Amino acid sequence: MSEKFKAIVIDNQNEKFSRDIKEISKSDLKDGNVLVKIDYSSLNYKDSLILNNGGKIVRKFPFVPGIDFSGKVVESEDSKFKKDDNIILTGFRVGEAYFGGFSQYAKVDSNFLVKTPKELDNKKTMMLGTAGFTALLCSFAIKAKEELLLGEKVKDVLVTGSSGGVGSIAIMILSKMGYDVHAVTGKKDKNDYLKNLGAKNIIDRKEFEGESKLLEKGTWDGVVDTVGGSALTKILAQTKPGGIVAACGNAGGVKINTTVMPFIIRGVKLWGVDSSGSSIKRREFIWNEASKLIDFSKLQSFTKELSFNELLETYPKLLKGEFFGRAIVNPNK
C-alpha cells in the first residue's frame, strides 16, 4: 500500500470544528491488529451528527469518522483473517472511539470483523450497512415470536419511520418473511415507494399521537419501531398478546410514558435492538441470511454512491430530513 492515503478528518481545535479531506499515513492508524483496504462505507444518521459537530459522541481529535465499512484485508496479525479476505465491520464504536470507515484504509481489532458471505460482495454489504443490519436484527426479533417463543404465527407487523433506512429495509425483509406490513410515515409522497417495497397498508403517523389508554385494541403481532418517543406508548398498548416490539431508534425522543399493563396482561415483549454491540455469532448468522431476504436490485434503485466531496455535501441534507434513500461512500471515487 501507499504510505499516504485519503480520509475525512474532523478536528476541534480551540472550539472551532472542522471537517476536511486530508492525506494521512499508515502510522496514523493506531488501533487494532488488521489493516483493511476500504471499498465502501455508508452514511448513517449518527455519521451525520459526528460530521456536523462531533455529535457529543467523538471525544478525541483529530479523528476519522465512519461507523461501518467493507473491504479487503491487507495485513493481519490474527490467523482467522488472511490477506484478500473480504470483511464487514459495523458498530463496536468504530467511527466513534476508533478511527472509522471514511478513509481508504482502516486498522481495527479482528474481534470486530465478520467475513463477507460468498453470496454477497463488498458493495452489497454497504448498501445494507448499519441500517440494513439493524433492520435484519429487528425482523428476526419479530420472527422470534413464532420460532423462539413458540407463539402464534405472526401476521400483522407495524413499521414506524418507514421511509428511513432501517424502516425501508425492514419492510422489504418482513414482507419477504410473509408478513402483512403496515408502514407508518408522515411523508405522503412516499406511499408508492413503500408499497413497492412490500407494504400492504400505509398509516399516517398522526394516528399515533395523543394520549393512550392503558390498553387499546390489540392490532399488531409485531412492531419494528425506529422512532421511539411518545408514539411507542400507544404502540405498546395496541400490541397483541405475546407480541414483540423491536425498538431500535430514538429520533422521536428517548422517553416513553407507559405502564406495566401491556407486559403483565398481554405478555408483550419490548425487545431492544443494539446493533453496535451484537455478538460475532449473531452477526455471522444475520449476514448469512441477508442474501435470502434482500432484493438488491430494488435496494440499488434507492442507493446513491458518494465520493468524499459528495459526502460532505450530503450529510447536512440527511440531518434536515432532505435526503431520501441509502447513501454508500466510495473512498476511491
More confident residue, 324 or 281: 281
User: What confidence tens digit (pLDDT) does each residue in 10-64 have?
Assistant: 999 888 999 999 999 999 999 999 999 999 999 999 999 999 999 999 999 999 9
d(CA 52, CA 325): 20
Q: What percent of the chain has pLDDT over 90?
A: 89
pLDDT band at 321 (very low <50, low <70, confident <90, very high): confident
Range with the poorest average pLDDT among 1-10, 237-246, 295-304:
1-10
Has residue 92 got a pLDDT over 70?
Answer: yes
Has residue 2 got a pLDDT over 80?
Answer: no
Please tell me what DSSP assigns to residue 174: H
Delineate the domains of the chain, giving CATH numbers in brackets: 4-116+302-329 (3.90.180.10), 131-275 (3.40.50.720)
Please tell me what DSSP assigns to residue 309: H
Annotate 96-146 with DSSP letters as a single string.
TTB--SSBSEEEE-GGG-EEPPTT--HHHHHHHHHHHHHHHHHHHHHHTTT
User: What is the per-residue pLDDT for 133?
Assistant: 98
Burial letters 202-230, b for 16+ CB under 10 A, else e: bbebeebeeebeebeebebbbbbbbbbbb
β-sheet with 269-272: strand ranges across: 199-204, 180-185, 156-159, 220-225, 239-247, 269-272
pLDDT band at 210 (very low <50, low <70, confident <90, very high): confident
d(CA 103, CA 40): 9
Has residue 107 got a pLDDT over 80?
Answer: yes
User: What is the per-residue pLDDT for 1?
Assistant: 67
Please tell me what DSSP assigns to residue 27: G
Range with the poorest average pLDDT among 6-10, 101-105, 145-149:
145-149
Mean pLDDT, the chain, integer: 96
CB atoms closer than 10 angstroms to residue 170: 33
